[in-house]
Structure 1
Amino acid sequence: MRVWRKLRSLGALYLQQSVCLLLARPQVVRDVRRLEDRVRHQGGTARVLSMTFTDPAQEQAVIAELNTARDAEYAEVLDRLPELSTELADERARGNATYAEVEESEADLQRFRGWLAKIAARDYFAAPAGQAAREAVEAAAADLAAFEEAALRAEAPDLTAADMPRPRAGQEP
């Protein structure tokens, strides 16, 4: 199971059970070699073969399959992301814009960003849905920033805009 998970995390395209294609990118090659070594040390069998496409149409078909797989992953992010916006809207409607809710939502946003980063790491051919997923996560970040500002105003109504905390380096506003 560990081998399957690692290969999937590298963007493996399974042709059949236990047979997959991976791109020969330097980091992927290193990770596959380590994985192959670990399998052999544990008594298993692994074969890593290099290949080259001889037919450009077949190469494009594989690229399309890889993009379809990444698009499906991006679609899952896009399907689940509205839950965060709905949660913020519900908390606003309840008048529950609090620091505790901000912290909870920040943790959710970080999970989405981490998930998106993992998908992007194996998105070798810029799958079409990637841009929409990135934009949706950034829109959620902007919504959370507005929610945080409302929470600060609710918990400290006498603060002025100049008193509002600024985002830390590398953090979204």
Structure 2
Amino acid sequence: MSIEPDSRGWLVISVSTASAPDSLRVQVWRKLRSLGALYLQQSVCLLPARPPVVREIRRLVDRVRHQGGTARVLPMAFTDPAEEQAVIAELNAARDTEYAEVLERLPGLRQELADEQARGNATYAEVEESEADLQRFRTWMGKVAARDYFDAPAGQAARDAVEQAAEELAAFEEAALHAEAPRLRAVKEK
């Protein structure tokens, strides 16, 4: 199969797993969702023909065919610029929904930092827990950004919010360091 990357082109992907193991259907669905595919109808979706997408689709098609399914990938170009813009808007709307979820959940981490500091509970254990939470947000953002092919409008606000949380965590960590330093000196003096 020869699919060539094209920064302006598109791929129409059609997959059938009817005669393949049930697990393949789930694998295909998850992979296409992770790539941000826009479904045109059941088992037919559209993705921009970017190099990382082309690479992943080649792998997916090989897996489908080796496990008894069928797959077709057709390069295409829009003949109507308005239709292409409508598809891009739909893809951006899907990414904006994902970014909105990040923005909706992120204040919980920031509030937890503020609450712990207000309780005088700025400790190394709390820093570790919050670092793990922040890393989950960064990982989540990385996955959304990887399928944000057209710079969805909410992306920058979500990136800024994650960075703001990182700055607040750094300040919390500094407070934890200062809070634990006197305790460590007191232990050494005994």
Task: Name the counterpart of 2:140.
Answer: 115
Answer 1 or 2: which has greater strand percent.
2
In the TM superposition, what whole-angstrom CA distance separates every residue of 1:79-133 from its partner, at most 9, and x where no partner exists?
1101101111111121110000000000100110111111111111100000000
Match of 2:49 among 2, 18, 24: 24
Distance 2:42 2:125 in 1: 46
Task: Name the counterpart of 1:69.
Answer: 94
Query: Which segments of 5 or more consecutive residues in structure 1 lack a partner in the other structure?
Result: 160-173
Distance 1:157 1:133 in 2: 37
Question: What is the TM-score with the length of structure 2 in the denominator?
Answer: 0.81
Query: Which segments of 5 or more consecutive residues in structure 2 lack a partner in the other structure?
Result: 1-25, 185-190
The equivalences for 1:16-95 within 5 A come to: 16-95=41-120
Distance 2:104 2:182 in 1: 36
Distance 1:90 1:141 in 2: 16
Q: Which stretches of structure 1, 4 residues or longer, exceed 3 Å deviation after superposition? A: none
What letter corresponds to residue 36 of structure 1 in structure 2? V
Question: What is the TM-score with the length of structure 1 in the denominator?
Answer: 0.89
Q: How many residues align?
A: 159
What letter corresponds to residue 40 of structure 2 in structure 1? L
- The structure whose Rg is larger is 2
Distance 1:128 1:21 in 2: 21
Alignment RMSD = 1.3
Distance 1:33 1:157 in 2: 59
